[in-house]
Amino acid sequence: LALMPIFGGGAAQLFDAETTGISQDRFLPRVTQVAKRLWGIYFFITVVLVGMLWAGPMNLYDSVCHAFTTMSTGGYSTKNASIAHWNSPYIEYVITFFMFVGGTNFTLLYFLFSGYFKKLFGDEELRWYFYFVIGATAIVTGGLLLTSQYPSVEVAFRKSIFQVVSIITTTGFATADYIPWGPFFWLVMLFLMTVCGCAGSTCGGMKMVRFVVLAKNTANEFKKQTHPKAIIPVRLNHHAISMDTVQKILAFVFVYIGLIFLSSILLSASGMGFPESVGGAVTCVSNTGPALGELGPVGNFSQVPMISKWYMSFLMLVGRLEIFTVLTLLTPGFWKQ
């Protein structure tokens, strides 16, 4: 979208909607220049990933295909069993790392390659993203060990971190079926599908930065209960976030959750079960892939009623473009610009 010069000024609107519009670092003056720089970094990382996968048990064709779908957090595989086909710890760890990279803000990757390490490690959204992955992995690993799902700590950790990173980045690769793990693990995965990775990445979902701003705004409201006259701005990366931006995020989250709730009801009305309806709505809006019940990692959408397939296709489109981006495209003023 950023590369489409035909949109003119409207390209900036689309770019802001796609990247959430909170970033304080306009490091290049033109949207098209930003896109070109990011393409170069993206291409370089993809080539590195191809080489690392090819060094393992994958052939060149599979390496190229999986490098493309890993960095794009798309999740398509040349094998029915996905990454589990190779049963290779090396492949799993490599893809886990690059899925995590794919879930970060590509602006930060630009800073990394430019030597601006302070901006990289000082980014709050990246830290929250990292903490979410570590925390969810620890919870899932601990749960799997307590329920004796896997024979060793290493296997439990590897299966946990792969599934956690795959879900939070909305990639959708699988090396294990989390459905037999139990309802507790389903809820963890469902929550990760909703929050997802960083703004400015290829992830779908709500985006971590919105969650961070909402969490900080909620904390400020609690502080105001004891200090009613205090003016406490929401800060991100040491910058105050305007109330206009906070209100936009609140509106987005309200519409996002409302769309999932309404979609769950509509999918249930079509004859789908409760886990499939809720999981299907969340996974389509967030563009994750695997959901719950028969739509889990080893399942598919072939048995979904035809009317539901049409509706879920619409949800995936809205979720990928982001709700406000779709609204922007439908606004007459956008096309006039």
Percent of the chain past pLDDT 90, that is, above it, reads 54
Q: How is residue 270 annotated by DSSP? A: T
Considering only CA atoms, which of 12, 73, 67 is closest in space to residue 197? 73
Residue 241, SS3 per DSSP: strand
pLDDT of residue 315: 92
User: Alpha-carbon torsion 88, 91, 94, 98, what sign?
Assistant: negative
**pLDDT tens by residue, 133-181:** 999 999 999 999 999 889 899 999 999 999 999 999 999 999 999 999 9
CB count in 10 Å sphere of residue 9: 10
**pLDDT tens by residue, 303-336:** 999 999 999 999 998 888 777 777 777 777 767 7
CB count in 10 Å sphere of residue 170: 28
Residue 21, SS3 per DSSP: coil
Query: How would DSSP label each residue in 158-192?
Result: HHHHHHHHHHHTT----SS--GGG-HHHHHHHHHH
pLDDT of residue 25: 54
For the stretch 297-302, contacts whose Cβ atoms lie closer than 8 Å and that sit 24 or more positions apart, written own/partner, are 297/82, 297/163, 297/174, 297/176, 297/177, 297/178, 297/179, 298/174, 298/177, 298/179, 299/179
Round to whole Å and give the CA distance between 44 and 242: 36
Phi, psi for residue 230 in degrees, rounded to 5: -70, 140
Q: Where are the domains of the chain?
A: 5-256
Query: How would DSSP label each residue in 54-78?
Result: HTTT--HHHHHHHHHHHHTT----S
Residue whose entry in the numeric block shows the structure tokens 């794919």:
102
**pLDDT tens by residue, 182-206:** 999 999 999 999 988 888 888 888 8
- Non-local (6+) Cβ contacts of 51 within 8 A are 63
Higher pLDDT: 111 or 194? It is: 194
Residue whose entry in the numeric block shows the structure tokens 């990394």:
112
pLDDT of residue 300: 87
Round to whole Å and give the CA distance between 102 and 165: 10
